[in-house]
Each structure stands twice: as structure tokens, then as C-alpha cells.
Structure 1
């Protein structure tokens, strides 16, 4: 039995009084224990097929929330059309020292420098095996901080979780593992994706592979990523991860903390990058828009800019567990206003 939404919202507000990381852990535990809302949605106009996956709606829960695959089904019950667990690395690792998560309340943002803290592949694999497969659940793959062959870490992730997830995301854009973003360079990226795609074909043929990129890329990096995505026939690009940049107008005292910034200040940057990639690759490779989504208008703007799917996470901190259902209830009104029958018709309509 699921918790009524108003009680879940009250619980979320109470958690806001705790430090950010403690609140995060308790939220996941509460969802795992069944204290989460169950959205009753009937939104056939929002159904969409992407990368061979049939999704009930385009709204997904981004990686980082359920790092260890403890509550993917509870997240699906909140209304999300798909859920991405992780990031998971081959071996368990504690991540960076605490404190490592900071709320920027005045900016509706969060800075984190978790550093891929997770229980490791064995634990995540066991949890995914134990659940009854339903809905669309994918996994975000990372590399151990002290790994001698980080590319092999991603291959291990694909091999270990083959048959347990609906998509793999190769995360080479976290700013919190030193040197990880160097894998976005042309030669490194091509070698990485070649080995990952080979492992996918051998262990989990047909399972889509996505690539998650950083928002603060040089023009040369953007061109290299677009070229590699086309050459390797990637199933989708996720645009984008957190940013290491800091806008001058941030008001919160924690704005100077080291780590990746997510939430509202990331919206414009990530959406501009999304539009740029759509202009280069069009609908040949689906795009998944992430960064600063907290309203139905935000989600719709991502879709107009070229996103076939949209993910959020940080907004849940401030808007509570009812946010997914609110966004999904409001999205059809934007379709009506622009004369679209189905959500897929709006993809890229405002990219030019």
C-alpha cells in the first residue's frame, strides 16, 4: 500500500531540515519501505518509443538518486516513465569525504562531490535480480577511482548487468572522479565505446547504450563526441551531467563549494547544448535532456530543443515526490497550445 501524496510531501519537507546527504539516504530508505506515492496517470499522448524502448511517458529519474538500485520500482510508481539507477562501479567505494552534498536553496540548486560512492556491481546485480522486471529501468556505469583500466570497468558493468536492465549509460562526465572527463577525448572515447559496444553485443545483444556527457565542453570536444556517436551508432546521448562552472549570480553561501552543480542554474546551459547537438545529429541519435528541470514548462522546452526524453533529480529536493505527476498532468496542455497530438511530434520543433 502506497503512502497518500500529501503525507509523502510532508515527509519530504521534514527531511529538508536534515543535512543533505542524510536526507537523501532516508528518502531512498522510505521509498524502499513503501512510503512513497503511487501516481494514477492516464497519459497516452505522452507515450513514446526511443532506442527500441516503449515508454509510457518521456519523464525519467536521473542517475544519482538511487545509486544502489534499492528502490527503482517505487520511483516508477511516482509516475516516472523510466528510471536510471547508479552510478555503479565494479568494486564498492566510499566516495569522497563528507560533507560532500550542499543545498543551494536560494538558487534551487545542489552541489555534490560524492565521487561515485556505491555498493559495487555484486550488490547492485543482486538487487536487480531480486526484483520482478517491470517498467523501464537502466543503469549508469562508472569507473573506480583507483582503477588501472577505466575502460575495462565499463565493460565489466555491461557484462555483470546483462539481462537485468533495459539500457546502459556510460558516464564519463562526472566531475568528481579525477581524470574521468578525459575519456571524452576523441581517441579515448572511440576506444571506450568500441569495447563497451562489443561487450554489449556479446552479453546483452539489443540492449541500448547511452552516453552521458558534460555541459562544459570545448567546441572540439563537442565535434569529437558527435563524430563518435555517429560512428559507433550510439542509441542515445544524455545531455548533460552537472557543471563545474559557477554563474556570477548565484546567491547561496555554498556556491563556492567544489563539485558538480545541478538544478535551476544548469537549465539554460544544458538546454543550449542540447539544442546544439540536435542541430548536428538531428533525430539520427535520440537525445535525453537533463539539467534544471523542475516544471512541465522546463520539460517541454527540453523537448522542443531536441530531447526525446527528459530526466530530473535535483528538483525533487525542493518540489517533493509529487513533482513527476504534476509535470505529466500539465504537459498535454503545452501540446494542445502548439497543435501537437503526441509528445513525439514536439521533439526538436523549437531547435532551429
Structure 2
């Protein structure tokens, strides 16, 4: 019997294959491999999709965060407040920009950045706050916006999520189009979103060697441009993103119905349009054993994330240790991401359920 994959990229590719091939043919015929109309078209289309004034394509999601910080003039001597429960790239980008990450714990229910702990961490040196829209769910933005420093949203996992008709709340948002994301490229890619024309202009300079026209460089910049072929892929997938996100919501509701009566399994809180279910994350005791046994039964899973930022060797210099962020640390030992992708079938979800029942109920 075929395994239930954690994510099925081939299924999404099949739906856009012809459009992507036609787009690649256009790019190859025009030999327009850097920037060009495909990139500009995607930027317009994604800005429209997110109802934001400007989209600036960049090389990847980590660059998106770093360049957004630099566009905000957040660098050496500044502190940036972010959650301990996030992928390491959030903190990594802060360090690359020259600033210092200041970590805070998350709330126990949603595992998102806690507003009260954030408020306590904000000080005179705070240059920015980075709430992370984790697992596809939007963080509660108003409390962060009231704290004063610019808010940079890490939206790598929330493409298409909206609340009160809005997808962007802070000064700027950074996103990733890593292949497994809701809107995924066929390699690395990312973008920065902002309502500010001035920030967008600075971001365009930063991503392209500080240059607005060839061989004229106004500032020291970077080489972090959205690849033209990836723009073709993203344009093709963007047309299906709203439908794919709705399929994820349907699958999440199906999981809720199937898994509701399994003891010792904590399901994620239900949500509406502010959740696009990039991941379906449950909590379970003996997580590593459960994941191993699921794999033996042909069900592939993931863990997002097993080692919190403050316990990573690369961030030992921040001076934290075990026990400093108890909610994040407790979650890191229990969270388990179940198979989730738009094309997941009823039968596949039933196999996941049957396997969990066998493991947890005997």
C-alpha cells in the first residue's frame, strides 16, 4: 500500500503543469532570465491577491525578512522581538541585519507570539517586532501594533489568510515561497509586502545591488532577486491558491471530525478565514514514538519545530537555557504535524486516523 505523504507536491504540480510549461517556453524564447515581465506580473498579481500596495520579489523568505529590516533601518544596536517558537530563519535574518533577537514565549493554546510577554520585552532599543503567523494562522495583530515599534509580519506560512478583510496589518510583511508552502515555487523564492511606496522603492534597491539602473548604485545592496522561472510557477499556482486554501480548510475540518474522540490527542483550535492550514499540528505524549510508529504504518509526519531557537547551538550566545521559555519547550516535545495538502483524500485522512487509533488506543 502506498504511504500517505506528509505533503504531495506532485499533485499540485499536475494541476499547473501545462501552464508552467507554456510559461517556461515564453521565458526561454525571450531569454529574459532576470527580472522581466514575468516577475513584474507576479508582483502585481500577488499584491492584488493580498490587497497590499506593493509586492517586491526576492530570492527567498530569509532574505525577505532581512531586507525588510534593512528597509526599516533596523540594524546594529537594535533589538528585534520575536517568538521562541518559530523556524530559525526568523532569528537568523535578524542577526544577518546586524540586530539582536529578543525572544519571547508563546501562548499555550495557539502557540503564537504572546502579546503580554511581547509588551514586557519591548524597550528603548527595540527596532521592530516580528509576530510569526505560524502553521497558517494569523497572530492577533492589534496588541503588537499598539506597542510603538514597526511591526514586520513573518507571513511565510499564511499566504491567503485574512482577518476582517485584511492580510497585512503591520508596516511590512515577509513571505517565503519554499516548495512546501501554500504558494510554493519549484525552488527558493520569497517576497516582501508593504503599503508604503517609499519602503517598496528601497526594497527594490536593496534586492538588486542598490541599483535602479544598470551600473549605477545608490546604496550597498544585495543580490536577491526573484528568479524569472520561479515567477512563472508562482503565477500559475496563484490562480489556484484560494481554492487550494479552501481544500485545506475542508481537510482540517475533516481531521477534527475523525480525530475528536481519540484521548491524549490535542487538536488545534478551529478557525475561519484567518487560518489557511499550512500545517495541521496536533499535540501528543511520546511524540517521537508515535511518529516512528506512524511511519511504520505508512503515514509520514513532520515536527515544526523540535528544537526551539533559544536551544539551538547557533543562538547559545543569547544566554538562554532550558526552562527560559516553558510553553515553547513543552510544545517542542509534543507537537506533530499530520499530512496536509490540498489534494489529500478522505481515504488518506482515514488511514491517518486509523493509524493513530491503533497506536494510541491499542
Instruction: Say yes or no: TM over 0.5.
Output: no
Length-normalised TM-score, structure 2: 0.27
Higher relative contact order (CA 8 A, sep 6+): 2
| TM-score, reference length from structure 1 | 0.28
Mark the structure with the bigger radius of gyration: 2
